[in-house]
Structure 1
Amino acid sequence: MRGAKPRVAFRVSAADELLGSIWAVSEEPLSPVHEQAMMEAAHVAAIAMLRSRIAADAAHRMRLATVAALLQGGQPAWQAAQKLSAPRTVTGGYVLAAGLTHDGRVPVTATAGLDHVAGSLTMLLRGELPSAVCALLGDTIYGIVPTYADEPADLSTVRRLATGFVQRLGRDWRGLVIGIGAPVHHLTDLNRSRDDADLVLRVLRCSAAGSGTPPLRLATREDVYGRSLVLRLSDLLAGETLPHVGPLDRLRAYDRTHDAALLQTLRCWLDNFGDISAASENLHVHKNTLRYRLKRITEVTGVDLTDAEMRFELMLQFRLDS
């Protein structure tokens, strides 16, 4: 490089591990005295860097243990809360669960950086919520925001901070979503807030997988209440062992056999609340063609499309199938 001055460098290492280097400007080779001084300085720097790493590792392990204990609820949560640097006595709190949508947009290598994201989220939250703590457990970042007896839980601050956080993340992290669990009044119930946050996170991940892009990057249970109910119902149905053939299954089989589009027609008609004009326009068919298909759907399935309860059941089945 033009104008650069000659320099000498000394390796800063611990055993065979390179920790860094020390550089000095020198017009000529170092004298034995100066060389010895540089070697001693590199040794001192190595010790300081190792001590800093050990302290950071210890703090990291302590944070992991604290978060894991808080998420358990019960007595472990109460004991772990005593280690938080809280300005007042912690009585309850709520849980955040953050993770990647796994929809193919986020590089696999990004998962390794989730631990750094957890650290960054902790620093951000502590700017206004000093007792907040976050840690990576498995492939999910969990954050706990303590609450106090003399102060009602207010999610507006964490909503604002977390929303700004996901918006400022780089393009490699645009698949990160955050679920916020409901506040609990007792530390022993923090595991219930974790379950709530996990459910919201699942909803956000499923929404992203189904639509290609997540409609929400941060949500509470209230934000996704309907979708969370559908997801829980889907979990219950997944445990059923007896086979069931419903109206949608019969339409699906008929479409395969007759190269028809009755299933698509029924869904479009339901999505348009039975509006013949809107549904026929979306399907690009004549209104009479749509009416014929609806009649055929009734014949194939045996359902009464004029029955409001039946229409609701069909709409629910479509949601569970998606």
Structure 2
Amino acid sequence: MDRGDLTNEEWRRLEPHLPVRGRRGGRWASHRRVINGILFRERTGIPWRDLPERFGRWKTVYERHRRWSADGTWDRILQAVQADADGRIDWSMVGIDSTSCRAHQHAAGARRKTPRIPKNRATPRQHRPDGGLGRSRGGLTSKIHLASEGGRRPLALLVTPGQWGDAPQMIAVLERIRVARKGEGRPRTRPGHLSADKAYSSRRNRHYLRRRHIKHTIPEPKDQRANRRRRGSRGGRPTGFDKGQYKRRNEVERTINRLKSFRAVATRYDKRAYVFHGTVALAAIRLWLQT
């Protein structure tokens, strides 16, 4: 076991959730070595072809990561390790935020239309016709929207082009929270309290949170406050804001810092959006395994 590889304890927790048989019915081989190779690439950001020989053929490592990103295996494993942590998840404060990731020049050039897929395969999950790439002042960028619990571990992820706003994605991110319980009962999808910055302040988002009975701490921007006051009684009641609760918003920011310690997350090298989503999902899985 070398630096950055899965420890014996992490492997013990991860192994039960890995698929046993491949698409053609044959048994997968060398799961641990291949996953260590994928993690090595995520941690260092090197090209797939430059993987050290101890991980086996680079093509095998890349293809397994691509396939598991396409069919949603990484997402299912993420939900499984979250379910294992049931009872140790801090639902008292769930934070939501986003971060921009600069796209490397190797991430550009993918076709904007649906890729050619053999008839015996389904469209990749998390596929985006826009490739999840957008242009901003920094050039080509992607944006990761995420919700994290109080223990600084991601609960839900969403990849969009870099110029997309935060507020319109809040509901989509919250709808992806689904943590199964160890015992009986429905999966948990509703946080006890939500914290977000003023970029998420909108009447649509606040109405959604009230409808789902989710307490929230979101500051109101000056322009929205002035518009509400100008409308008088038709503008509605002032929004509640607790400065003490808002101090915990740093937890989601620290979660983002932990995710972007993986260089393949901080800088996007993957051409396809669904492959980059799988890269981020695997980084989130590693965070859950480490705690």
TM bin (shorter chain): under 0.3
State the structure with bigger RCO (CA 8 A, min sep 6), 1 or 2.
2
- TM-score normalised by the chain length of structure 1: 0.23
Structure whose CA Rg is larger: 1
- TM-score normalised by the chain length of structure 2: 0.25
Task: Give the structure with the larger helix fraction.
Answer: 1
